[in-house]
Amino acid sequence: MNIKTKLYGGLGILAFLILVLGGSGLVFINTLAENSSAIIRNNIRTVSYMESMEQTLNELHLKQTSKLDSNGDRYTYSVKAVDSLKKKLLRSLSDQQQNITESGEAEISGQLQEAIMRYLDKYEQLNSQTTLNSSLYQDFSMQYGQIQAMLAEITNLNIEAIERKNDRAQNTASSVILYMTVIGGISALLAFGLLITYPNYIVKPIRELIDRIKKIADQNYDQRLEFKTGDEYEELAQAFNRMATRLQEYESSTMAKLMNEKQRIEAIINHMHEAIIGLDREKNVLFVNAKAEELIGRDRSSLVGQYAPDIASTNDLVRKLIQDLMEGTKNEGEDSDEPDLVKIMNGDRQVFYSKETIPVITGNDAADEEKQIGTIITLKNVTHFQEMDEAKSNFVAVVSHELKTPIASINMSLRLLEDERVGKLNEEQSNLIQSIRDDTRRMKRTTKELLDLSKIESGNIQLNTQPAQPLDLIEYAYETMIMQANQKDVKLVIYCDQNLPKVKTDVQKTVWVLVNLISNAIRYTPTSGRIELKAEEKPSSIKFLVTDTGEGIAEEYLDKIFQKYFQVYADKDGDGGSGLGLAIAKEFINAQGGEIDVKSTVGKGSTFYFTLPKN
């Protein structure tokens, strides 16, 4: 039976109860009505006919008897009035004949009719006789008595009937009340029962379904519904159970796939030559691969799940690895361009690893927000590159050192050639000598820069720091470069307070940096340009600025020009820059605890600036 049929059933029962109640009420009311008014009305009518007949008869009889009493005065009453009374009497009699209701009443009514006829007959006989016939009068009186008795008898018969019917109506009313109470009670009970069970019957399975669906939503897929109602709910339960089974199967197959994937990725990570360490957002170790285990020197089981800073307190390598995370030097989500170098002693051999800290970001496309869920730290063995780099630095150092002597001797020879005592040169020879001199100067400069760089790379920068007045530093550089500036018709001006606090610096190297910056500025500034040299006081340092009105540097090159051998336009003007000047300047400034950077607008000019700590 489906829900619709059941609903029809329930509502049908209610409708049936209402019909039963209403119908039985109608039947009972009808019975009551029949028992009371309609039937009683007939009896009351008879009683009223009897009364009317008795009254009419009395009047009629009085007219005759009064005449008889006042002897001789026989025609004194009005014949018309007597006739009217007779008619009235007969009419009432006829009405009564048509209103027979009780058993025996018809018979008495018949006798009454006969008695009235006889009485009226005697009435006429008495009128027609001149002298009073006593036997006739006696009969007449007897008939009158009989009629009265009959009238009383019929009246009594009907009054008794009224009483009887009244009793019966009373009884019927009591029965009706009883029946109605019983039927009403049963109906009310049935309706009440339906009222309690029906909503529950409809709602309970729905509640249970909602409950199970919520659990399924919480990935609790072993939910099943057991409705044995034989209706749509049972069908619904079967469909639900099918769905839950499918979900369960799907979940277990997805889980198996995921597990497979996980194992595969773990195997890959484990077999990688790089050491890999995964941290969650709270810096707890999520995983380490075999290489990382080996380098850290601890078992995976003693690392996974541990708070990384706790491990760092007893392990130098881990401390180095999470240093950035702890100091927050790298903002979350920011990746550094240059991987850090980590040096690890392997026996008595140095092993170099480049460290990379990669934030793991999850993107939520819908909300368009990114969230860091952890960090991966990798260590790549770069000892081989490091060794090659060292070899290269050594080679550069040796070559540049070896070049110094021949360059010096070329210079010496040039000076000799220029000496008129050796021989006078013609113009063409002088021009050749000049170009050899320029090339030699450039070669000397490049050789010196290469030598400086190799010293820096081998970590051999010797700083000879002392307090120095910023204006003095600027003026040294100014003196060195003013000639070159004038030659190119570029204005070189100083804006510097002579009372600025002193800086702690290696004067030679800082002047070298300033000279290099001014030299670049002159080189990249067109004729009649302007170069400003400034020094400003900052809270803990002095900032030196070299501003030119040159061609400027495009934004994409700004972070590259401090790298070794980088040139925006290689050898553009044939002046043969090496691309090393700014790289060396950066090393010199950083070695002194300062920072160097540039701001530039293409077509307007550039400002190179660096800071040096106050003394």
Please, which residues have CB within 8 angstroms of residue 563's CB and are 6 or more apart in sequence?
A: 583
Does residue 359 bind ligand ADP (CB under 6 A)?
Answer: no
Report d(CA 174, CA 137) in Å as an integer. Answer: 55
In this complex, which beta carbon is closest to ligand ADP, that of residue 64 or of residue 549? 549
Span interacting with ligand ADP, options 117-125, 129-137, 240-248, 516-524, rule CB under 6 A = 516-524
Does residue 578 bind ligand ADP (CB under 6 A)?
Answer: yes
State which of residues 143, 375, 400, 606 lies at the interface with ligand ADP (CB under 6 A).
Answer: 606
Rounded to 5°, angle at Cα 457 from 451 and 462: 75
3-state secondary structure 225-243: CCCCCCCHHHHHHHHHHHH
Helix (H) or strand (E) holding 371: strand 369-381
- Shortest Å distance, C-beta 463 to ligand ADP: 21
Alpha-helical (H) ranges within 297-382 are 308-312, 316-327
State which of residues 567, 597, 613, 615 lies at the interface with ligand ADP (CB under 6 A).
Answer: 567
- What long-range pairs does 612-615 form, CB within 8 A, spacing at least 24? 612/503, 612/504, 612/505, 612/510, 612/541, 612/542, 612/544, 613/503, 613/504, 613/540, 613/541, 614/501, 614/502, 614/503, 614/504, 614/540, 614/541, 614/542, 615/467, 615/501, 615/502, 615/503, 615/504
Count CB neighbours of 387 within 10 A.
12
Does residue 550 bind ligand ADP (CB under 6 A)?
Answer: yes
Query: Is the CA virtual torsion 404, 410, 416, 419 positive or negative?
Result: negative
Does residue 587 bind ligand ADP (CB under 6 A)?
Answer: no
Report d(CA 529, CA 508) in Å as an integer. Answer: 27
Does residue 490 bind ligand ADP (CB under 6 A)?
Answer: no
For residue 40, give both structure tokens.
Answer: 């009683």
Report d(CA 507, CA 471) in Å as an integer. Answer: 12
In this complex, which beta carbon is closest to ligand ADP, that of residue 449 or of residue 506? 449
Does residue 157 bind ligand ADP (CB under 6 A)?
Answer: no
- Shortest Å distance, C-beta 551 to ligand ADP: 6
Distance of CA 499 to the CA centre of its chain: 64
In this complex, which beta carbon is closest to ligand ADP, that of residue 365 or of residue 556? 556
Does residue 454 bind ligand ADP (CB under 6 A)?
Answer: no
Does residue 276 contact residue 291 with C-beta atoms inside 8 Å?
yes
Does residue 611 bind ligand ADP (CB under 6 A)?
Answer: no
Does residue 89 contact residue 60 with C-beta atoms inside 8 Å?
yes
- Shortest Å distance, C-beta 449 to ligand ADP: 8
In this complex, which beta carbon is closest to ligand ADP, that of residue 532 or of residue 551? 551
In the window 227-286, what residues touch ligand ADP (CB under 6 A)?
none
Report d(CA 469, CA 401) in Å as an integer. Answer: 33
Does residue 524 bind ligand ADP (CB under 6 A)?
Answer: yes
Does residue 520 bind ligand ADP (CB under 6 A)?
Answer: yes
Does residue 521 bind ligand ADP (CB under 6 A)?
Answer: yes
Does residue 469 bind ligand ADP (CB under 6 A)?
Answer: no
For residue 60, give both structure tokens.
Answer: 């009629």
Does residue 341 contact residue 357 with C-beta atoms inside 8 Å?
no
Does residue 254 contact residue 247 with C-beta atoms inside 8 Å?
no
Does residue 549 bind ligand ADP (CB under 6 A)?
Answer: no
State which of residues 397, 577, 596, 612 lies at the interface with ligand ADP (CB under 6 A).
Answer: 577
Does residue 447 bind ligand ADP (CB under 6 A)?
Answer: no
Does residue 548 bind ligand ADP (CB under 6 A)?
Answer: yes
Number of residues in contact with ligand ADP, rule: CB under 6 A?
20
Span interacting with ligand ADP, options 85-93, 97-105, 359-367, 520-528, rule CB under 6 A = 520-528
Does residue 553 bind ligand ADP (CB under 6 A)?
Answer: yes
Span interacting with ligand ADP, options 36-44, 243-251, 486-494, 550-558, rule CB under 6 A = 550-558
Span interacting with ligand ADP, options 99-107, 422-430, 432-440, 547-555, rule CB under 6 A = 547-555
Place of tokens 């013609």: 426
Chain residue at closest Cβ approach to ligand ADP? 577
- Shortest Å distance, C-beta 393 to ligand ADP: 18
Binding residues for ligand ADP, rule: CB under 6 A, are: 520-521, 524, 548, 550-551, 553, 561, 566-569, 577-583, 606
